[in-house]
Structure 1
Amino acid sequence: MEVEATGESSLRDMADVPEESSAEAVTNASGVVIGSKRPAPSDRDEELRKRICGPPPDISEKLEEEMASLGDDHNINIVEALRNLSKTLIESLKDQEGIILQVFARCIKFKPEKLTIYSTLAGLVNAQDSDFGVALLSRAINELEFSLQKGEFDIALRITTFVADLANTKVVSVPSIFQLLNRFVNFVDNENLQTDYFVFMILHTLPWVGLLLHNEDRSSLAELLTRLNTYIVQRKKLHLKALQVWIGKLEQEQEDYIDSLWAQINDLNSRAWNEQHILRVDMAFVAELSASTRHEVPDFTIPEYSEDVSYPLPFIVFRLFKPSDVTGTDVSLPEPNSIERFLVEEDLNWIISNNYLNWKVCARELVSYFRADSIPLSYCIVEVVFSQMFRLPESPYMQLFYGALLIELCRKIPEDIPQVLACAIQTLYERIPHMQLICVERFINWFSYHLSNFQFRWSWDDWGEAVSEDEFSVKQIFVREVIEKCMRFSYHKRMTEILPHSFDDLIPQEPVFKFVVDNPEHPAHEDSIHFANKIRNKVTNEDIILSVKRPENEVQEGECIYDPDLVAIFTGTLLKLGSHTFSHTFAALQRYRDALAEFVKYADIMQPVLLRTIHECWGQHRQFVVLIIDKLLKLQIFDPPIIVAWVFSGDLKEEIHRSWVWEIFNIAITRASKQYHVNKTNKENFESLYAKKKARLEQNKTARGDAQEDDIFPRGDDIEVDEEDMGEDSNDATAQAKLVSLADQLNKAILAFEKSSDDLKYLVLDFCHKFIVSITEHLVECEKEQAPFDTPVYRYMIGRFRETLILHWREIFLFWNDVKTELLNSAAIDDKIQEVFVQFRALKF
């Protein structure tokens, strides 16, 4: 290959070539040198190679793609793929070690279902270059420490399991694994959420490394298990009833997550730690790994317990299917107390966790699960999806994700998933009388959404029994609310055509707008026409305000200056003119927001007037009521406490068993919570900005003072100036003025935050108090009449109480001390109500 010498740099490169590899001159027929042949540099000429070829190419994307796809293609031999990839990594270590470690870290964190593949790959590279094993362990432990500090507990769990599995591939020594696990055990003296997490983390690693620990040091393993048993036996588990999907004794146990895994670990121990699920790729490389250098796990810091940290909350292991439920397949469902059941569920949970942003990819990954041939995959997937959907206090991901995922799975496996899903729905319906109301609501929302994607086809006649049951019975509530939610996805006539005639009593009335003032004989009919003309002519808010004012001579000091009847007529007329669509209604409310805001300055009088008017006009269209109230909460026309008071007032007594009532109740609390967090973030931002500006101003003053003392006038390029922060602020007076203005803004932000904090605290105390009073009144009345208290109404109100506590657990724990001081210290509170609070408190403390 001829290389033309084209300049000074090329000549300099040629001059640096050692004698033994100097260029061979190439001449033409006249003897003139026209170029030179340069042989490829030898390994000793690394510096020269870099100057000739440039830096080595970045292999991160290609490597990450290769590692992430390992084992996906069943036509490729995983053993050969690992052997070839390990050779590539060994060749690239010198120049690309940092990139390789980074890719390993990402794969460990986000592809945990392939954990044993990555530990085997690490073992193969360590066998050839022990320094890599040291570097990988150091990186993994740094990632572990960082994850624990930042509260990324799922990531920390995966890293710990990976580090433990490195002992199987001869990267880590067994004594070092015991030291690692015992470091976490040393923290479990006092029961709290952090110690629960550490115990679960240790139990989680044992299926991967338990056999090795059992074979090499049984006494240390027995000691570790004894310490774990001591902690687990002493756990109080007061949270169980608060988190169980079903209340009461069922055929299938609803176990705490640590208890369930502990039973499975004990079963595994009784089988001499021989499990049949984990992919043991390292067994194909026993010879290559046998001579590897084993390393010690580096030291790291475990953060102390803090109540400010959001540790993983406890949860209940959800069981829907028994082995006997599985039909149409030759493989059986693992027993609930077997470690194989846990490992399958953990793999599927990991797949969902890594793909929850894209339900189509998630469905594809679940369907292609590498152990699909050894389990009834459809049953396992459906059970895991429902376990996440019904997890309390909250699902890991949005409810809509699970709906979209199940629809996609039905499309991926149309011959299997729909039948399994139908079996699951029927099982859930049969158990629904025992189901917590918060889970019933999730079931209603998911099932109605699912039906809307399949033309509302269902064997409705099978649920005909619900029609004749009590209106507070959970079966009737479920069927009735599913029908109403289906109407939101369709329309009234469609539902009347689909449902059997026996369901007529549960079908809501046709959702039409009703305004009593429309009757020409109504005394206020003319006032309504008057307001309608004003609205059509787009009169101003001030004009409307003047139209509803009471005569001055009729208004006593401190009374409301607006006529409630005229306000109600105006509001009803406004809703009527905007009744064609949601958009029309919202636009009308937005246009006359200022007038409505003026009216509700007399909140105790006017807010109930507006609520009653909305309910009277749109009472047959509950979705409209919910959306209008939500809109007015956003516009700050309604205060959340007035919604809470309305729900518990006599106005809605006849509809207290309807879901839409509790929907607006929870929306009101959520709005107050959002306002609190918005103001909190705003305050923190202003505090940070003010501190930064103040420090910079003081720094500039100090710098100028030093310059004057030394009589130094430095060049402009010697002074570091932040143009954004300084700019016009380079003048001290201007900067000071802006700081004063910022301090004023900060004070306003602090006041806004304190007000929203007080408002949220009052709201939490208010709705807790109203539930206590409502349930206590029922208990007292039953005691007075010597009647049993455990009626459908009582179970319903207790269920709604539990639902509210669970839905708004963060807000309640913010003010838990106030709740305890002002509400729970009273001897008048019945033990049944106290028990609900005790169970709820156990979620956090």
Structure 2
Amino acid sequence: MSYDRPYHRGGGNRRRQHRDDYDDRRRDVYESPADKLKTAIIKLGEVDVLEELPVLEKQIREFSPLVIPNLSEAFRIAVTEQPFKIPYYAALLRRLHDSTEETPTVDGPSLGKQILEDFWKGFQAYLDKLAWRETRLCIHFFAHLTVAKLISTDSMFALLQSFTAVLEEFGVSNGRAKKAAVCAAEGLMIGGPILKPSSTEHVQEIINAIQAYNDSATSPKWLIAPVVKMYSDEASAPNTDELLDTVLQALRTLDESDFTETATSFSQPYTTYADPDLSTFTPYDLPSVLVPPEVIELDGLSTDSGEDSQVKKEEWPEYFLRLFDNDITPDPKTPAGYAVRTGILDILDIFEVNRKECARLLLEYPKWTIPGTFKPKPGGAVVPDPVPGKDWQLESTIIENVLGAYFILPESPYKSIYYIGVITELCKLSPSTVGPAVGKSIRKLYGTLADGLDVEVARRFAEWFAVHMSNFGFQWVWKEWIPDLSLNIQHPKRAFMRRALEFEIRLSYHDRILKTLPPEMQAPEGHTIGEQAPGPDFEYDDPAKPHHDAAQSVLNLFRGRAEAKDVISHLETLKATLETSDDGGIVNADVLIRSIAMQSLLHIGSRSFSHLLNAIERYLPLLRSIASGGASSAGGSGNPEAKADILTASAAFWKHNRHMVAIVFDKLMQYQIVDPTDVVGWTFINRAEIRELSESTGPLSLSAFEWDLLKGALDKANGRVMIARRKVATLRKEDDDTRARVKASGGADGNAMDVDADVKADEAPAIDSPALTIALKAFASLTREQKGALSRTLDGFVSCLAPAATDSNPNPHSRLVISEEGWNDRAGWEKDQWNAWETWGWYRQFCRSYAPYLRNYSTTLFTVSFAKFEGSTDPAAELLKKTWNVATGQE
């Protein structure tokens, strides 16, 4: 029977279609006329902003009934989320203030003034929450309105001075001071044309206050400069600039010109309007404000220093790396250049939630700048009279600023994948223009590698390069770098090649990456890429090698899913056999058993990540037994030598895939087979198994890979303490709430009115709950572990960089590479010198990255690690202490 007859379809289909359309309409979000007006305000400038201004003004005036809070909310959203439109919203508000023939001004405040008064309430809310970005952008808006003569100059001065007052607070943090200084400086930059004629004295007070703070905060800049001069306190370099330094230079330039350059740096569309009639209008006086203090939360879980001084990452100054000359990209030290950088970074910051929209707005940024700021697009309209000193390349400017934000030390504001993703989207939107800018940026960065580029910046550069290549078919002109194969094998350029290719292989596979390289780089003597694909290296797989049969017997037990206790028993039997058959001692047999067991287990788990986790989880009792010092041991805190053997066996098994070494180490720490302190100690002492053949086997040193191991261990230790701290805080709050409820109900006996009972209850000692007691013990244990990991890391760096004369493996090159003479002679450095220089770089990164945690134990760690340098004039010791003091706030 058929159900597809035409005469059965028509009416039913029409009814269903009508019902579906009705359901779709019901599902649509209803937008009221007020919401539509709000959307129209936010979308101002979708086509031509100057033509849309009068149309939108008329639409607002004709709307009835006008709801001022709805209009001011639209302005607040637009100002804080679309800062490139702020000058035009100031122009719109100015138009709403002025009267027209159709809407003459009546008694009472103008429409523009009513919106401004309600807008201020939103600004006050931002300030109360210390929402610094929104606060700063609102100040931009107020500054534009001051130039448009809707806000009085006296009240604008008072607003800016409330932020410079922050700079004089006792013990003000660098992050708070930096944000407050930028708020005041940028407000003065925009409002300067009308503020300076009003009071030159107030302008100088604001500038001098920012300058005074900047002069007092020079030490941290030395530690986070992206281009390093180890021998000098001078932080600046020709291709770098720090945020407050650029703010002050741009502000000084504007002040010297009496802010005439503001008109060529910031859009001011409202300047063509006639001055308001002061007989009928009084400029709006901004209410006085006080910047709220920072909220410092102390949970009472004090450590060595007496308080929990967790410092946010933005506490450091912001250093930006420049790639191009001033005729290609704007110099941020100039007013126009600073305005362009700020505009691009604001878009990058606000649209972090949507990289595609961010890329689109970045390419449309010239639409909101003064004509002539950037070179016109191919085939676009030519600006008849470009502004002198401008005409910059848009794509190069965008890439330079995106990478500048990505390379901020010690940590970029957002995850690296965001910046990489934005650049990828830019290339997709305009490959013909962005692609060449990316290529030039790569070449510029590559050329800076041996000129002091910070090791952490070089690592991020390699990561970006590899991911970017993976998004575009791994196409790069490697032949340009063939001449650099003649450089020393540990030269930063050659180290970059190896690191970038290692990242590329992780994102693809070995054979494909190998085919993208020229023959000179494919050759084994090029030491650029491995001959074989990264994979396991089971030491006992070859029947011709010793102990093959023993390893196979253990491997067969794992393959047969034997119980952990059976494997432990077999290892004990095997150990006794090895002790009697070999001429080695008991220690050698122990080491061999651990190696066989660990490598066999990893061999079972080498097929995939899930196989690895399953193998570790199934044989956790075995791993704990081995880590405790012997196959038959009952457990305990573990044996350091046994744990080191486990790490060595793991590293030897994955020596051709160093990424897996880090993964296995992380899992061993996660399951508490080894502690972070064990990984730190192993990395400094026992890492010979994972050193590339091309790397130095002489003096102690650290490469980027070993830093990754250290970072993984320290992050694990710090993360555990943070989790334990939060758990204790939660349990303590629950205990306090329980006590409060008991006290409110009159105690256990219910006698709420017995005053004596209340007094006795107050005097009785508070007994923690069993859960809280256990949590406090765990917190104390993890805190000791954290302190031990940090202490051992510091000791390791001290031993590498300033070894005593009695050390068995001193590093004679550590002192050479930090001297001016040595650095100037770096063209002749060998691998040990370059290794020493890189180790110094990772010590700097350790101090600045973990400064919040190091400050908690600064007194103890300094005493233990630097006591031997008391009275020493050793330059290496002095630099070690100076770096430590700057990071921990002692200088």
Is the 1:247–1:435 Cα contact (8 Å) retained in structure 2? yes
Shift of 1:707: 8.9
Is the 2:39–2:74 Cα contact (8 Å) retained in structure 1? no
Match of 2:152 among 173, 189, 194: 173
CA distance in 2, matches of 1:65, 1:815: 53
1:69 and 2:48 correspond: no
Is the 2:140–2:187 Cα contact (8 Å) retained in structure 1? yes
TM normalised by structure 2 equals 0.77
Shift of 1:205: 1.2
Is the 2:320–2:407 Cα contact (8 Å) retained in structure 1? no
- 2:433 corresponds in structure 1 to 416
- 1:540 corresponds in structure 2 to 563
CA distance in 2, matches of 1:786, 1:114: 54
CA distance in 2, matches of 1:788, 1:672: 32
SS at match of 2:572: coil
- 1:729 corresponds in structure 2 to none
Shift of 1:429: 0.7
1:608 and 2:644 correspond: yes
SS at match of 2:241: coil
- 1:465 corresponds in structure 2 to 483
CA distance in 2, matches of 1:707, 1:604: 58
- 1:18 corresponds in structure 2 to none
* Equivalent residue letter for 1:368: E
- 1:669 corresponds in structure 2 to 714
SS at match of 2:147: coil
Match of 2:739 among 684, 690, 694: 694
- 1:314 corresponds in structure 2 to 317
1:159 and 2:138 correspond: yes
Q: Give the length in aligned residue pairs.
A: 744
CA distance in 2, matches of 1:353, 1:59: 32
Superposition pairs for residues 331-730 of structure 1, below 5 Å? 333-369=329-365, 370-371=367-368, 374-375=373-374, 376-433=393-450, 434-503=452-521, 504=523, 505=526, 506-510=528-532, 511-549=534-572, 563-601=590-628, 602-652=638-688, 654-655=691-692, 658-701=703-746, 705=750
CA distance in 2, matches of 1:749, 1:424: 51
Which ranges of structure 2 fall in alignment gaps of 5 or more residues? Answer: 1-29, 99-109, 297-308, 375-392, 580-585, 629-637, 693-700, 755-765, 823-832
* Equivalent residue letter for 2:453: M
Match of 1:760 among 773, 786, 789: 786
Match of 1:835 among 879, 884, 889: 879
Shift of 1:153: 2.6
CA distance in 1, matches of 2:639, 2:62: 73
CA distance in 2, matches of 1:136, 1:217: 28
Is the 1:168–1:212 Cα contact (8 Å) retained in structure 2? yes
* Equivalent residue letter for 1:437: V
Shift of 1:823: 3.3
CA distance in 2, matches of 1:384, 1:703: 65
Is the 2:189–2:251 Cα contact (8 Å) retained in structure 1? yes
TM normalised by structure 1 equals 0.81
* Equivalent residue letter for 1:203: A
CA distance in 2, matches of 1:681, 1:832: 39
- 1:281 corresponds in structure 2 to 269
* Equivalent residue letter for 1:71: G
- 1:743 corresponds in structure 2 to 769
* Equivalent residue letter for 1:367: L
Which ranges of structure 1 fall in alignment gaps of 5 or more residues? Answer: 1-55, 327-332, 710-739
SS at match of 1:458: coil
Larger deviation: 540-549 or 609-618?
540-549
CA distance in 1, matches of 2:127, 2:887: 25
Change beyond 3 A, Cα 1:215–1:473: same
Is the 1:140–1:163 Cα contact (8 Å) retained in structure 2? no
- 1:816 corresponds in structure 2 to 858
Larger deviation: 825-834 or 339-348?
825-834
Match of 1:105 among 67, 72, 76: 76
SS at match of 1:255: strand
CA distance in 2, matches of 1:141, 1:637: 53
Is the 2:854–2:888 Cα contact (8 Å) retained in structure 1? no
Larger deviation: 545-554 or 431-440?
545-554
SS at match of 1:317: strand
CA distance in 1, matches of 2:570, 2:251: 75
Is the 2:458–2:496 Cα contact (8 Å) retained in structure 1? yes
Is the 2:575–2:589 Cα contact (8 Å) retained in structure 1? no
1:300 and 2:295 correspond: no
Is the 1:535–1:574 Cα contact (8 Å) retained in structure 2? yes
CA offsets per residue over residues 196-223 of structure 1, 9 Å max, x none?
4332321121221111102333343234
Change beyond 3 A, Cα 1:138–1:453: closer
Shift of 1:257: 1.6
Shift of 1:385: 0.5
Larger deviation: 767-776 or 568-577?
568-577
Is the 1:351–1:362 Cα contact (8 Å) retained in structure 2? yes
Shift of 1:839: 4.7
CA distance in 2, matches of 1:439, 1:785: 21
CA distance in 1, matches of 2:34, 2:346: 24
CA offsets per residue over residues 323-353 of structure 1, 9 Å max, x none?
34x3xxxxxx434432111111111111111
CA distance in 1, matches of 2:774, 2:35: 49
Shift of 1:110: 2.6
CA distance in 2, matches of 1:665, 1:703: 52
Shift of 1:107: 3.2
SS at match of 2:520: helix
CA distance in 2, matches of 1:661, 1:315: 27
Change beyond 3 A, Cα 1:116–1:606: same
* Equivalent residue letter for 2:128: F
- 1:719 corresponds in structure 2 to none
CA offsets per residue over residues 468-503 of structure 1, 9 Å max, x none?
222331111111111111111122222222211211
Greater Cα radius of gyration, structure 1 or 2: 1
- 2:761 corresponds in structure 1 to none
Change beyond 3 A, Cα 1:299–1:545: farther
* Equivalent residue letter for 1:210: G
CA distance in 2, matches of 1:423, 1:744: 63
Is the 2:869–2:877 Cα contact (8 Å) retained in structure 1? no
CA distance in 2, matches of 1:427, 1:132: 52
Is the 1:782–1:788 Cα contact (8 Å) retained in structure 2? no
Shift of 1:824: 4.3
Shift of 1:803: 2.2
CA distance in 2, matches of 1:64, 1:309: 40
Shift of 1:779: 8.9
- 2:23 corresponds in structure 1 to none
1:255 and 2:241 correspond: yes
Match of 1:272 among 245, 254, 258: 258
Shift of 1:696: 2.2
SS at match of 1:507: coil
Superposition pairs for residues 94-243 of structure 1, below 5 Å? 96-125=67-96, 128-129=110-111, 132=114, 135-136=117-118, 138-148=120-130, 152-189=131-168, 192=172, 193=174, 194-232=176-214, 234-243=215-224
CA distance in 2, matches of 1:760, 1:297: 50
Shift of 1:320: 1.4
CA offsets per residue over residues 736-792 of structure 1, 9 Å max, x none?
xxxx99811111112212221221122112101210111112899577999787432
Is the 1:257–1:317 Cα contact (8 Å) retained in structure 2? yes
Shift of 1:575: 1.6
Larger deviation: 111-120 or 254-263?
111-120
SS at match of 1:548: helix
The percentage of aligned residue pairs carrying the same residue is: 20
Shift of 1:63: 4.6
Shift of 1:133: 5.1
